[in-house]
Amino acid sequence: MKNSIVISVEFFFKGQKLSPSMVIDLDAHIQSKNDLQSLYPQLARSNNIDLYSYEYEILQAENLVFSDAKGLAKSFLSEGTFNIDAFERALHEQNVIEAVSGVARSILSIDDLDTEPVLKTALIEAYKLGQQS
């Protein structure tokens, strides 16, 4: 997992404190175009909570808590809150830069595209144009 984060919820059910949690692969989550609400059933299933139970309804009523981010995700985690929209934009930007850096390396023999900012901008814009067509 390149970018991952732990999600958890804490609640009481039948007088017992429950703290289901799981690690999520953020790259796969973003690629599948899922939103934060889709994490509730994943969290329930990974902790053997029936999706048609009162326990699950209580779980859904709680806010997700995020922790232990890895990779680029670390920059978007603050006090248990994760800015998934900003992370997604940054991840996309990072993927574009990696793609154009590969082109610069293999075709232009430029190992560090940051040393050629004008060329870097041109390659990024060309990449974006290619994505639009």
The model's pLDDT over 4-16, given as tens digits with 9 standing for 90+, comes to 999 999 999 999 9
> Mind listing the pLDDT tens digit for each residue in 81-119?
999 999 999 998 998 998 889 888 898 888 888 888 888
What are the beta bridge partners of residue 6?
23, 67
Nearest residue to 100 via CA among 88, 112, 90, 91: 112
Locate tokens 């290619």: which residue?
A: 130
**Tokens at 60, concatenated:** 């859904």
pTM of the model: 0.81
Segment 26-56, tens digit of pLDDT? 999 998 988 888 999 999 999 999 999 999 9
Domain boundaries defined on the chain: 4-82, 91-132
